[in-house]
Amino acid sequence: MSTANNVAAPTRFLQVKEQRYAYRRFGDGSRPPLLFLQHFTGTLDNWDPDVTDPLASGREVLLFENAGVGRSTGKVPESISAMAQHALAFLDELRLSSCDVLGFSLGGMIAQQMAQDRPSIFRRMILVGTAPRGGEDIMHLEKPSLARHMSDPSLQGYARLQKLFFAPTESSQAAGAAFIKRLAQRTQDREPASGMEIAKAQIAAFRDWERPIGERFAELTGIRQPTLVVNGIHDEMIPVRNSYWLSANLPNAVLLTYPDSGHGSLFQFHESFTRQAAAFLGSDSAFAPY
Amino acid sequence: MSTANNVAAPTRFLQVKEQRYAYRRFGDGSRPPLLFLQHFTGTLDNWDPDVTDPLASGREVLLFENAGVGRSTGKVPESISAMAQHALAFLDELRLSSCDVLGFSLGGMIAQQMAQDRPSIFRRMILVGTAPRGGEDIMHLEKPSLARHMSDPSLQGYARLQKLFFAPTESSQAAGAAFIKRLAQRTQDREPASGMEIAKAQIAAFRDWERPIGERFAELTGIRQPTLVVNGIHDEMIPVRNSYWLSANLPNAVLLTYPDSGHGSLFQFHESFTRQAAAFLGSDSAFAPY
């Protein structure tokens, strides 16, 4: 059985000083490797194989587990900035001086921070369901539209994820159910699910990220990488206006929004998303349009 | 010389009762024909051959000149609704009961109105640089950012169009200059340029379109066609928030925005635009994502 997919790819470990990072690495081809940066409380097992695997054709993909999540050791940092440092340390240890990145949600914030901290690290960036520093309404699980799922005792684990990541329409919920099934395909060598402590630290990082430093959005003008910004139009976890700000303030960004979808638009429309992402990553132009 | 392009395609004429419509029709293939609906004061000669011609591969394209513009007879209507009736009469006379549509700016409003008036008329819709009924800041040539170009005596004809349609950056203005050159390639069988009377009537139609009828944007939920909404992120003529409203309220719309560009984003990024448009139109899915 091939292991060039996120159902069977073994979890690997990388030691950097006192820190051990869990990750997966599969696929091959001549295109630059693609780093996947994961969402709030997500582990390596939360990456939809129908998103990772098509993108592992023509390039290697690297699924990274940040400090304190899954089988990565250490404490979950309470800032995006510290999470970005972990991801850079990981790439440095792998001797990867440049790659592409797909940052989803929390992962998209980390990607932005990495691009600011070390502009040479990324060639092209894909930012899905995420927000700039100074963005609004980032992962407020206490607001009514999310709290009703968070406090529903009949929803556990992936069933809750389906409600949170997909729009309340029949079509979106059906796509959510299919997504959940795909995640469950991996039965061995799984990561431990994230607990409350991880959630709390990551929420603290979101609250920090909502506070602008200096002029709001000004730092985005310095991110020159061709960028593809993607968002579900009915995202309740990180509303689409955050993606509007990203694409209006990043100097070199194409925005793509999907209808009838929420935070998990890339999973709902995985065929379209991977086709668009592959076309975007397949370009060597200095400009984002593809 | 081939005439399957907008440099050489002859202008044709279609008589419908007392009304004569100028149009061009070229290209071929098995895909549904694609109707082009033009912008404020634009004639058939304002269609960029680098946009029309690639899309004429695999399908016929139909460039339509509405009443009172170019060599189409009659009076320019002062409402989108009456313009939509002209376009429907034109398609009826051609015995086209269904086609695809690319509506740019004013043309995008007419396309929306046609889809409401006769839901079966379009299979898939592309709406570029346009606004829903009840949209804001639609073609206010009197506002400072546009008035400075309108009142600049050194800008005439296409030079003014370059300033209005492209962002003030060097890269966008260079793309604008290339666009103007492409428009000038057609030297024979040209349409008369639009004068003040045409502009005044079309502006009246914009002012009417800015007024919601009933609940704002409610009529968009009835437009079920797969739709691709496209906008330059720095569009001063019809700001991008109008495209945000379109994609948030149309139930089946993908939004694509381009960086470093204004109203003429489809001309600036003609390679990307025609590739995306062809992929979108090439889909037979009931859903917009492609």
Asked if residues B140 and B209 have their Cβ atoms less than 8 Å apart, the reply is no
Interface test with A, best of B220, B247, B257 (most A CBs within 10 A): B257
Which residues from chain A sit within 8 angstroms of residue B290, using beta carbons? Answer: 272, 275
**Tokens in use for B196?**
């003040």
- Cβ–Cβ below 8 Å for A254 and B255: no
- Partnered with residue A122 across adjacent β-strands are A99
> What integer is the mean pLDDT of B95-120?
98
- Distance from C-alpha of A278 to C-alpha of A38, rounded to nearest angstrom: 19
pLDDT in tens, A224-253: 999 999 999 999 999 999 999 999 999 999
Pairing of strands B34-37, A61-64: unpaired
**Tokens 């400072």 appear where?**
B144
Residues B239 and B137: beta-carbon distance below 8 Å: yes
Mean pLDDT of chain B: 97
Asked if pLDDT for residue B1 goes beyond 70, the answer is no
Residues 225-284 of A with CB under 8 A from B: 233, 240, 244, 247-248, 250-260, 269, 271-273, 275, 279
Residues of A in contact with B255 (CB under 8 A): 233, 255-257
- Residue keyed to tokens 């972990």: A86
Query: Which of B254, B259, B273 has the CB atom closest to A257's CB atom?
Result: B254
**B176's tokens:** 């604008």
Q: How far apart are CA A106 and CA A89, in angstroms?
A: 18
C-alpha span between B241 and B92 (Å, rounded): 34
Quote the crossing angle between the two packed helices B80-93 and B196-209, to the nearest 10°: 110
Q: Within 13 Å of residue A100, how many CA atoms lie on the same side as its CB?
A: 26
Q: Cα–Cα distances in Å, from A83 out to A49, A87, A98, A121?
A: 24, 6, 18, 15
In three-state secondary structure terms, B22 is strand
Is the Cβ pair B258, A259 closer than 8 Å?
no
- CA distances to A69, A84, A120, B189 from A94, rounded to whole Å, are 19, 16, 16, 63
pLDDT at A1: 59
DSSP letters of B34-78? EEEE--TT--GGGS-HHHHHHHTBSS-EEEE--TTSTT--S---S
Cβ within 8 Å of A, B 174-193? none
Structure confidence at residue B51 (pLDDT): 98
Read off the pLDDT band of B136 (50, 70, 90): very high
In order of A69, A73, A77, A89, A117, the CA distances from A201 in angstroms are 11, 15, 6, 20, 22
Per-residue pLDDT of B7-43, as tens digits, reads 999 999 999 999 999 999 999 999 999 999 999 999 9
| Closest CB from B252, B257, B271 relative to A259 | B252
Contact B269 A275 (CB under 8 A): no
- What three-state secondary structure class fits B227? strand
Contact status, residue B83 vs residue B67, Cβ threshold 8 Å: yes
Residue A218, phi-psi category: left (phi > 0), alpha (psi -120 to 50), beta (remainder) = alpha
d(CA A189, CA A176): 24
pLDDT for residue B270 is more than 70:
yes
Ranges assigned E (strand) in chain A:
12-16, 19-26, 34-37, 61-64, 99-104, 122-128, 227-232, 253-258
> Which residues 6+ apart lie within 8 Å of A290 measured at CB?
A228, A254, A279, A280, A282, A283, B272, B275
All residue ranges of chain A with pLDDT < 70 are 1
Judged by a CB distance cut-off of 8 A, whether residue A201 touches chain B is: no
Q: What are phi and psi of A127, to 5 degrees?
A: -115, 110
pLDDT at B128 over 80: yes
Write the residue in B247, B259, B273 that is nearest to A233 by C-beta.
B247
Residue B157 pLDDT level (bands cut at 50, 70, 90): confident
What is the maximum span of chain A, computed from C-alpha positions, in angstroms? 52
**Which amino acid belongs to residue B158?**
Y
Mean pLDDT of the region B194-199: 96
Predicted pLDDT at A212:
98
Contact (CB, 8 A) for A91 and A120: no
Selected for mutation to probe chain B from A254, A271, A274 (highest B CB count within 10 Å) is A254
Three-state DSSP string of A218-254: HHHHHCCCCEEEEEECCCCCCCCHHHHHHHHHCCCEE
With beta carbons under 8 A apart, name residues in chain B contacting A273. 289
Sign of CA dihedral B49, B51, B56, B58: positive
Count of CB contacts below 8 A, A vs B?
A: 65
Neighbour-count burial of A89, counting CB atoms closer than 10 A to its CB (0-12 exposed, 13-18 middle, 19+ buried): middle
For residues A37 and A61, the answer to whether their CB atoms sit within 8 Å is no
Residues of chain A found within 8 Å of residue B124, distances taken between Cβ atoms: none
* Triad B276, B278, B282: Cα angle to 5°: 120
Complex-level ipTM: 0.97
What pLDDT does residue B2 have? 80
Tokens for A37, please give them: 């940066």
User: What's the gap in Å between the CA of A1 and the closest CA on chain B?
Assistant: 31
- CB-based contact B233 A240, cutoff 8 Å: no
Answer for the pair A99, A91: CB distance below 8 angstroms, yes or no. Answer: yes
Only one residue has tokens 């603290």, namely A204
**End-to-end Cα spacing for chain A:** 35
Q: How many CB atoms lie within 10 A of CB A155?
A: 16
Terminal C-alpha separation, chain B: 35
